[in-house]
Every structure is written in structure tokens, then in C-alpha cells.
Structure 1
Amino acid sequence: MKTIQMKGEVIPDDYSDVYDWLNYQYFSPQSISDALTKANGEDITLEINSPGGYIDAGSEIYTELMEYQGKINAKIVGYACSAASWIALAADHVAMSPTAQMMIHRASGGAIGNSSDMKSEYNALDQMDKSFVNLYAKRTGKSPNEIYQMMVDTTWMNAKTAVENGFADEVMFENKEPALVNADGSLSVKPEMINKIKNLLHRDSNLGKKTNDVSKPIENKEEQPKKSKKNDFALLLWS
């Protein structure tokens, strides 16, 4: 049985170069699609430790898993929050470490513009909430009203509570003594940072396309210290 790692944040494919450069853990629709292709219909295990992430990327991954022909087992070894919670529920069987956590909440976003723009954003978030309510209700057997209230309350569940509420099927290592864990569900790279980092990442390749004037004499023979890309990155973030 193959194991697919789902560690870190759920991100769109287009953000992967930024996360690679920053050496942050992530998984994306393409990375999961590639892993499923290699599994070739064999039974698989999803090893999950994720704070969640972007809804559109999570939806792609959920759909890919639901369409997979082999049996899927999910092991939540750290935490499965937000988008990662319903990605986990695409599995046929969900097991949680006794120290793991699952969290569900309402969709969130933001809008800038006039009252029509605000109304459109409200409608989008409301429709997302209804989708998640339906998904959780179908899996757990709870009523949509119960699920919606849990989302409103931003409900955290340990392994035992998740099993009692129908979000997980079993607690791993029930006869062993658990250890304590901590969790933080914030995203490491904010959306507004992505373009700034991309400009920095691809700056060198763009400079390489320019024609250099080799006829000019070198004014200063002392080699100037090279600037660190990560120092440039820090300046960009604060600009």
C-alpha cells in the first residue's frame, strides 16, 4: 500500500515555486495528481498534517481523491483543519492519532468595492458554507443545522471527539499513552505576498535576457558583496 504525504498547507499549483523557494511544506492538486498516477489504482494511505489552505485547491484535491479507483485510508497524524478536514473525508476510512486535532469552520474571504461587490462576496461565502455543510452532514449523519452550528463555532475536535461525531472512524494507538501537541492554523505565505516573491524569484532570468555592454571599462575593481535574495525578499515584503 502506497503512502501519500499531505503535510503543510493546501495551495494552488501556481504557488508551488514560491513555497519551494521558502522551503515550506505544502501539497497541491498537481502533486496529489502525480502521486495518484504513480499509485495506479492500488490502495493508498493519506498521511495528513495540515492547517488547510485555499478552497479551490482543496476542492480539486477532494475531487481527485473521490474519483480514485483504489481504496483510500487516511491517517491524521497531526491536524486536519479547514480544507484539510474535508480532504480527509474523501477517504474510505479515517483514523486519527490520539494527539491529533480536526477543525471545521465557515468559509472566509474578503472583498473591495461597492455594495454589489459585497453582496456577491456574501453569496459566494454562503454557497461555500452550504457545500461544506452538505459534505460533513452526509459523512457524519448529523443534521445540516447541527453541522452549520459547529462551523459557526469553529469547532476543534480531538480524535475521540471526532469519532464520536462521525468525522473519523477510529483512534490510533488506543492502548498507548499519547503525547501533547500544539497547532497553529495560520498560512505562512499570504496571498498578497505571492506576486512580490514571484517577481524576486524570476528577476535573474529576466535580467539574463538583457544585452550587456562589454565595451565599458570596469570602474571599480573591488568586487561588491552580492545581495542575498532572501534579504531582497524581506525588503519586498515590507515595501
Structure 2
Amino acid sequence: MKKFWKWKNRTVLNQETQEPIQERTLFLNGTIAEESWFDDDVTPQVFKEELCSGSGDITVWINSPGGDCVAAAQIYNMLMDYPGNVTVKIDGIAASAASVIAMAGTRVLVSPVSMMMIHNPATVAFGDTAEMEKAISMLSEVKESIINAYEIKTGLSRAKLSHLMDAETWMDAHSAVELCFADDILKRASEDTEEDENLAVTGAPMMFSHAAVTNSLMDKLAAKCRIQKQPEETGRSVDSLMERLNLIKQHL
């Protein structure tokens, strides 16, 4: 069975009681592929069984460009329903459907070199006008369901989130935290609090909008290709031309 997730279990010591506890880590890597969920009908159930096979808090590492939104919705719901704390750590990219899964984290941490991307859902449709209208309606409903997950995590307005999705927004770690898609930026592990503070990442937020860049490029091209209006020629006045014509007539 093809899987895009991998579990890793290890025994660690509880820092307070010094008792051994089982630490469970889930790695979501690669494309959240449609065939993983629909070629085998038991796959969602298998994922849930693996998720609930242990207890306690879990850590979910995400490095995924996204994929099938239905599969992402199932993972999101399972993580939201999990009784323990779910710490999400984005070490590469959490784009598209993978960003929805990230929203299920009790706490979301992003690597200083990671990226997050949100955009409108897409599909392939074939048929007449009625079929196209059905596809448009379906995509609108899917978008609303995705906004639900973003709204719960970020607290941003639905209109703001809709605009960010329309623009295909790419966020670096600082922008993800600033917009509340993430809670904090990952820092180097250290036992010294002072050292941890010194290792805090600084820098200005960076957010890339595909729509904004396209519009800017089109404006520049339009400015380059615009035909400049030629200045009007300052010709002779009518009186001057008539005077010249009369002078010619005298010599005919």
C-alpha cells in the first residue's frame, strides 16, 4: 500500500518525572496523492488506526507541496479529533492542501527557511455549460471549507483569507507567524534559555503574491508597448495660407 506518511516511535525521558515515555512522530512528506486514498478504500481508516494506536502528544513534521484536498481534509479532521496535543513543525514547505493539514496543530512551528502557500482550489472539468457551472459551484464550496480551517487557526476575516487565496500567497516564516498561520519559528535546541533567545531569528517578513507580480509585470509591459501620442504640428494659420494663395494668383 502506497503511503505518504511515516510514523517514528522512540522512548524518551519525561523532563519532570524522569520516567520513560513513548514519543510519537509523524512525517508527512511528498504529494498528498489521490491514489493513496481512492485506489484503496481502507487507507483513511488505516491512517486513523495508526494515529490512534498510541496515546499522548504527537509531533507532525510536514514537507509537502499539497495534493488532493479531500485527503487533506480527512487528515485535518483526524488530527483535530486526536485527544492529545498535536505539534506541527514545517521543515520545508506546506503548500496548498498541506497548509490545511498544518492548521490542525495545537501549536504550529515553522523553520526559518520554510515556506507556506495558500491558493484557490482547482479541478478539471469537461462537459456543457451546466457541467461547468456545477464545477464552479463545487470549487466555491471547497474554498469555503478551506477558509473554515484557516479562520479557526488565524482569526483573520473570511474576506482577508479569500483575498490571500485569490492572490496565491507565499509566506516565509515571519509572514506565517505575523498572519497567525504559525505560532512561532523553530530555534536551535538548547538547554540554555539565554542562548535560545540569542538564536531567535530576526528579519523582515516576506510575502509573495502571484497575482500581484503578474499584475505588476502586465503594467510594465503595457507601459513599454503604449503608443505615444504624437505632438500636433504647428502649421501655418488659415489667413497666412490665403494670403499666400492670393499672391500666387497675381502672378498667374
Q: Which residues of 2 match residues 1-239 of structure 1 at below 5 A?
A: 1-12=23-34, 13-14=36-37, 29=44, 32-38=47-53, 40-173=54-187, 175=199
Q: How many residues align?
A: 167
Paired with 1:151 and 1:51, the residues of 2 have a C-alpha distance of: 15
Q: What RMSD over aligned residues (CA atoms) do the two structures have, in Å?
A: 2.1
Which runs of 5 or more structure 2 residues have no equivalent in the other structure? Answer: 1-22, 189-198, 203-252
**Which one has a bigger Cα radius of gyration?**
2
Q: Which amino acid aligns with 2:134?
A: S
SS of the residue 2:122 aligns to: coil
Matched residue type, 2:76: Y
Judged with a 3 Å threshold, the aligned counterparts in structure 2 of structure 1 residues 168 and 124 are, in CA distance, closer, same or farther, namely same
1:29 Cα deviation from its structure 2 partner? 3.6
User: Taking structure 2 as the reference length, what is the TM-score of the superposition?
Assistant: 0.62
CA deviations 1:56-106 (Å, max 9, x no partner) are 111111111111111100000001001100101101000000000000000
| Rounded Cα–Cα distance in structure 1 between residues aligned with 2:156 and 2:173 | 18
Q: Helix, strand or coil: the match of 1:168? A: coil
Listed as ranges, the gaps of 5+ residues in structure 1 are 18-27, 179-239
3-state secondary structure, aligned to 2:62: strand
Higher relative contact order (CA 8 A, sep 6+): 1
Residue 135 of structure 2 aligns with an amino acid whose one-letter code is: E
TM-score (norm: length of structure 1) = 0.65
Tell me how far apart the structure 2 counterparts of residues 177 and 91 of structure 1 sit (CA, whole Å). Answer: 22
The whole-number CA distance in structure 1 between the counterparts of 2:118 and 2:159 is 14
Match of 1:207 in 2: none
Residues 32 and 176 of structure 1, relative CA distance in 2, 3 Å threshold: farther
1:130 Cα shift? 1.1
Distance 1:36 1:6 in 2: 13
**Amino acid of the structure 2 residue aligned with 1:146:** K
